Chain A
Amino acid sequence: MSDQNNDVSNTRAGAVDERTIYELSIPGRRGCEMPPCDVPETEFPQALLRDESGLPEVSELDVVRHFVRLSQRNFGVDTGFYPLGSCTMKYNPKICEASARLEGFTGTHPLQPEHTVQGNLELMFKLQQWLQEIGGFAAVSLQPTAGAQGELTALLMMRAYFRDRGETGRTQVLIPDSAHGTNPASTTMAGFEALEIPSDEHGNVDLAALRAACDDSVAGLMLTNPNTLGLFEAQLEEVIACVHGCGGLVYGDGANMNALTGIACPGALGVDLMHFNLHKTFGTPHGGGGPGSGPLGASAALADYLPGPVVQRVAGDEGDGTSYALFSPARSIGRMSTYFGSFGVFVRAYAYILHHGAEGLRANAEHAVLNANYLRSRLRDVLPLPFERTCMHEFVLEGRIEGSDVRALDISKRLLDFGIHPPITYFPLIVPEALMIEPTETESKQTLDNFVEVMEVIAREAGNNPELLHAAPHNTVVGRLDEVRAARQLKLSESS
């Protein structure tokens, strides 16, 4: 690694503009032909027809080259190191992908009679069971289609629970200021008021503030543990006891469950509701922004409120081989997606858990924490570390360098030039110039060492040549894009 080669003025190797599919379109060209109609044709209702649907006209080779070239302009875990804090960009095992593509799964219709989809129902039932076991819950519904929807579902369940108990005065949801940004949005969506609780100087929930907030107007607390600073809530049991003490419920944001599989069961610690992000904890791909899956676990008191349908094992064989059936929990808040949630993602997560077993899942969490602490220990000499504590699966640094006007964003963008995806930048908000780093367990010591060396180079550059960082990235297909222009001169589709 050297500081040389700073002349990066013209290194955008792949920077040939990729024309859009419409720019490639030539009237009359086709990428796919349908077979001729083999039944007598029926007259169309002329008034309802359109002549132009406005889709492009390209050949199959055009399509393949276009999208393959676009893929080459994209960074994924399969491309390089992706220490994006809070997102858990770990390796997505290929056997899980292959499993999800089996025709026996992809070719099943969601409304098939139950006896014809026993394989699917068995898979969903076992996944429910395993998630219950891993999280320490009485029941799990797989229905929520993403983490944020899992949050909303949990809040709607709290609402229904207190309504049934006649406690309609519980209008407030407590949210630590280190929480995920979706928490307050979900809270408002569910008709509650968000009350932000400050953190103490160690990054924990300020217990005194929490005590002051806990009264009979509180519906619950939304707790991310480990929190978004990557720290395990040191007074977790006191925090939970405090909320339960005033009659409130504790919702666990399971976004960081990947640090706890086989380490601790949130349900056993008193968490009443928690969503799992299958894409973080169980290695299902993020898909460039979805599909997600946010199954929700519930304690015995709340299990009846879960969204349905969920899968149950049926006692007797009804003569047609039915061992698993769908049913709706007694006081279900209702349906949160059209069918059962992201079934294709369940297949991947099921295969992942079965591939790892209990020991493998615990080893994943342990090595995620090992990797994070290793990087923390090595990088604290490069950038300021705001919390001097053993971290869990991720940690936060301050992206500023003494005597330089380089900011966290500059460091992030410069990392791209080294083929490394930047950490989460400017989150969590309670740390100025935050850089949130999550290496994940699937990265080797060599990858981590290389990352440290790159960060050292960048820190030196910040002193010697800050302009290089201000103008980064230099090696990507485009430079920093003008986001203000994008928002002011809105162009959200191609003009016809």
Chain B
Amino acid sequence: MRYVPHTESERLQMLDVIGVSDLEQLFADVPEHSRFPELALAEPLSELELARHMRTLAEHNQHTGDKLCFLGAGAYQHFVPATVDEVLRRGEFYTAYTPYQAEASQGMLQAMFEYQTMICRLTGMDVATASHYDGSTALAEAVRMALHAGGRSRNRVIVSPAVNPRYREVVHSYLQGTVAELVGEQTSIRATADNLHNLSALVDDQTAALVIQSPNFLGQFENVAGLADAVHAAGALLIVVADPVALGRFQSPGAYGADVVVADGQPLGIPLSFGGPYLGVFAARRKHVHHLPGRLVGETVDADGRRGYVLTLAAREQHVRRARATSNICTNAGLMALAAATYMATLGATGLREVAQLCYHKSHYAAQQIAGIPGLRINPQAPDKAFFKEFAVSLPQPVATVNRILADEFGVLGGYDLAQLNPEFEGHMLLAVTEMHSKSDIDRLVQGLRVATA
């Protein structure tokens, strides 16, 4: 009864107004044999006890507060300035609903409008949505949008094997129930080393889109020169999965001709939080604006000419025609977009550029040091490709064994075991190094790897 404010006498007065004598009478419509089940839940805890319990439970985890973490593979530890949580804690924002009542939601709407602007500039696109659930669902919605745009004759989507395999799985889930066909191999050593232009050769008049990721799942920049032209020549769309932090310093997908850019916005000020909630970033060329899934905020005026913002283009295509229905999206990730907006505003152009540069330099320093360890190789599948903040290392031992030593003896959460995706990657670890890692942190990792693989 912690948050129910009624006193006994108020309860009786209210029941009297309704014309019933007790609360149970309000549930006469519920079949009697099923009414008021005894629920076997835990005994309730007071706030004090609950706070203690939650702390204890949280400490059953190893976490970035007490371990050095070099895991990436789609979720990254980055610096979050204090402004972000300060803004997120504003009850006016986080206890509000989706801003359907525009006059009472100008704060959130303007913040979303600014978020859309920042995402457009960062990705080099013309329009951005006010957020999706996460990177993988944003990609799934992008693929559905491309299938819609491609019309009846284009039912294939080619996904590069170097796209995050979890993203591929979600796209696959979202295409169940359609006639669309997902083309492209699972992540494998050979496939990720392949030149993307071999993939673009597969794009034909039945292909709706080619999906690539750059930097790809293994951290490397793809060679995109001429790619968009080849895809467009076949009448398909180029969908790019991006890393928003890389866009602070490295060329935008818009600059090399992408039609749709999606990303997980988690690196933009959102904690790792065991995989969610994250932020789906979705941006596209202007010509797709009427087919965009999800919410859009637009600027307008009131009767007196005051500037204001509203949810707009409730996209008829989605809801009325629904030819090859594109989306059922309702809730999105508004608060996460607010976090990203605050993060991008605080970091600014210079700050994000510095973060991207630090990621680049530190990961390369780490790679160079690790390359000096006998038996270890960096990006063995494509050693010449440039990378951003992640790279693969081949080890003479199983990754799990190495990681166990790193954790137990060096307080390091080691890299992602790529063999979980494909046995071909046995002994391959994916390491992410960001601005969060000082030189001494990196040196500890290197020392740990040296000891563990000796």
Task: Check A-B contact in the complex, CB < 8 A.
Answer: yes
Query: Is the CB of A496 closer than 8 A to any CB of chain B?
Result: yes
How many A residues touch the partner, as a band? 35 or more
A387 near B: Cβ within 8 Å? no
Instruction: Tell which of A98, A119, A496 touches B51, judged by Cβ atoms closer than 8 Å.
Output: A98
Chain B, range 388-419, C-beta contacts under 8 Å to A:
400, 403, 407, 413, 416
- Give the chain A neighbours of B11 by CB distance below 8 A: 370
Q: Which of B55-89 contact A (CB under 8 A)?
A: 55, 57-65, 69, 71, 73-75, 77, 79, 81, 83, 85-87, 89
B137 contacts chain A at the CB level, 8 A cutoff: yes
Q: Which residues of chain B are within 8 angstroms of A18 by Cβ–Cβ distance?
A: 106, 110
- The answer to whether B47 touches A487 (Cβ under 8 A) is no
Write the nearest CB–CB distance from B116 to chain A, whole angstroms.
5
Pair B108/A288 contact, Cβ less than 8 Å: yes
**Interface flag for B454 (CB, 8 Å):** no
Q: Which residues of B contact A385 (CB under 8 A)?
A: none
Residue B377 at the chain A interface, CB threshold 8 Å: no
Distance (whole angstroms) from the CB of A453 to the closest CB of chain B: 14
Interchain CB contact under 8 A, B303 and A479: yes
Rounded to whole angstroms, the CA-CA distance of A493 and B113 in the bound complex is 6
> In the complex, what residues of B have CB within 8 A of residue A479's CB?
103, 302-304, 306
- What separation, in Å, do the CA atoms of A374 and B19 have in the docked complex? 9
The contact of A492 among B95, B116, B131, B438, by CB within 8 Å, is B116
> Bound complex: CA of A106 vs CA of B77, how far in Å?
10
CB-nearest residue of chain B to A291: B277
Residue from B4, B15, B106 in contact with A73 in the complex, judged by beta carbons closer than 8 Å: B106
With known contacts A104-B63, A105-B61, A70–B264 Cβ distance under 8 A: no
Please state if A117 and B62 are interface contacts (CB–CB under 8 Å).
yes
- Is residue A133 within 8 Å, beta carbon to beta carbon, of the partner chain? yes
Q: Nearest-CB distance from B382 to chain A (Å)?
A: 14
A382 to B74, CA, bound (A): 55
- A33 engages B328 (CB within 8 Å): no
Looking at A18, A110, A481, the one whose CB has the most chain B CB atoms below 10 A away is A481
Across the interface, B349 reaches (CB within 8 A) one of A54, A268, A290, A338, namely: A54
A58 interfacial by beta-carbon distance below 8 Å: yes
The B346-380 residues at the A interface (CB cut-off 8 A) are 346-355, 357-358, 360-362, 364-365, 368
| B289 and A492 within 8 A (CB) | yes
Whether A338 lies near B57 (C-beta < 8 A) is no
Asked if A165 is at the interface of the complex by the 8 Å CB criterion, the answer is no
The A213-248 residues at the B interface (CB cut-off 8 A) are 231-234, 236-237
A-B contact number at CB 8 A: 663
B296 adjacent to A492 (CB under 8 Å): yes
Min Cβ gap A110→B in Å is 3
Residues of A within 8 A of B341 (CB): 21
Residue on A nearest B1 in the bound complex, by CB: A363
User: Using a Cβ–Cβ cut-off of 8 Å, how many residues does chain B contribute to the interface with A?
Assistant: 195
| Docked pose: A338 CA to B14 CA in angstroms | 47
CB neighbours (8 Å) of B295 from chain A are 289
Instruction: Annotate A455-492 by CB proximity to B: 1 below 8 A, 0 otherwise.
Output: 00000000000000001010011111111011101111
In the complex, identify which listed stretch (A141-149, A295-303, A399-407, A429-437) lies at the interface while the others stay far away.
Answer: A141-149
| A92→B91 CA distance, assembly (Å) | 9
CB-CB nearest in chain B for A87: B97
Residues on B with C-beta less than 8 A from A478 are: 102-103, 106, 302, 306-308
Contact A482 B95 (CB under 8 A): no
* Given known A18-B110, A50-B251, contact A37–B358 (CB-CB < 8 A): yes
Q: Is A44 located at the chain interface by the 8 A CB criterion? A: yes
Query: Given A50-B252, A67-B87, are A493 and B332 also a contact pair (CB < 8 Å)?
Result: no
Residue B153 at the chain A interface, CB threshold 8 Å: no
CA distance A91 to B3 in the complex (A): 8
Q: Flag whether A189 is at the interface (Cβ < 8 A).
A: yes
Among the stretches B195-203, B232-240, B312-320, the one at the interface with A is B312-320
Q: Is the CB of A370 within 8 A of B107?
A: no
Whether the pair A156, B173 counts as a contact (CB closer than 8 A) is yes
- The answer to the question of B344 belonging to the interface, with a C-beta cut-off of 8 Å to chain A, is yes
- Is A485's CB under 8 angstroms from B39's CB? no
- Assess whether B439 is in contact with A95, with CB atoms less than 8 Å apart: no
Quick check: A108 and B103 within 8 Å, CB to CB? no
Instruction: Give the residue name and chain of the A residue nearest to B112 (CB).
Output: A289
Known pairs A108-B272, A483-B300; A63 contacts B83 (CB<8 A): yes
B381 on interface, CB distance cutoff 8 Å: no
By a CB distance below 8 angstroms, the chain A residues around B334 are: 287-291
- Contact partner of A145 (CB less than 8 A), chosen from B47, B92, B276, B322, is B276
Q: Are B328 and A269 in contact (CB under 8 A)?
A: no
Known interface pairs A286-B96, A344-B273, A486-B299. Does A338 touch B108 (Cβ–Cβ under 8 Å)?
no
Q: Considering only CB atoms, which chain B residue lies closest to A194 in the complex?
A: B322
| Contact assessment for B322 and A188 in the assembled complex, using a CB-CB cutoff below 8 Å | yes
How many whole Å from A456's CB to the nearest CB in chain B?
Answer: 15
Contacts of B301 in A (CB 8 A): 481-482, 485
Once the chains are docked, how many angstroms separate the CA of A482 from the CA of B302?
6
Q: Pick the residue among B23, B98, B310, B351 that contacts A366 (CB under 8 A).
A: B23
> Are B61 and A264 in contact (CB-based, < 8 A)?
no
| Separation of A234 and B289 alpha carbons in the complex (Å) | 44
With a cutoff of 8 Å between Cβ atoms, the chain A residues found around residue B57 in the complex are: 104, 119, 122-123
Could you tell me the distance between the alpha carbons of A373 and B15 in the complex, rounded to whole angstroms?
A: 9
A373 near B97: Cβ-Cβ < 8 Å:
no
B221 CB within 8 Å of chain A: yes
Give min CB distance, A312 to chain B, whole Å. Answer: 17
Q: What does the 1/0 interface line of B20-46 toward A look like (CB < 8 Å)? A: 100100111111001111111111110
Q: What residue of chain B has the Cβ atom nearest to residue A55's Cβ?
A: B349
B38 touches A358 (CB 8 A): yes
Interface segment, one of B122-130, B154-162, B184-192, B204-212? B122-130
Given contacts A145-B276, A232-B30, A481-B308, contact A338 B328 (CB under 8 A): no
The reply to whether the CB of A111 lies closer than 8 angstroms to some CB of chain B is yes
Q: Is A11 an interface residue (CB 8 A)?
A: no
Q: Is the CB of B272 within 8 A of A485?
A: no
Task: Indicate whether A170 reaches chain B with its CB closer than 8 angstroms.
Answer: no
The minimal Cβ–Cβ distance linking B330 to chain A, given in whole angstroms, is: 4
- Given A343-B274, A490-B289, decide whether A338 and B364 contact each other with a Cβ distance below 8 A: no
Between A and B, 27 residue pairs with Cβ closer than 8 Å are: A17-B306, A37-B357, A40-B361, A50-B251, A53-B247, A56-B348, A57-B349, A91-B3, A95-B47, A111-B71, A117-B61, A120-B274, A145-B134, A189-B325, A261-B39, A285-B94, A285-B95, A289-B108, A335-B173, A354-B42, A374-B17, A377-B17, A481-B102, A482-B302, A490-B298, A492-B113, A496-B121
- 5 shortest interchain CB distances as A-B pairs: A339-B275, A104-B58, A54-B121, A191-B177, A78-B91
Known: A110-B272, A264-B37, A492-B128; 6 extra A-B contacts, CB below 8 A, are A32-B81, A105-B58, A287-B96, A337-B276, A358-B38, A479-B103
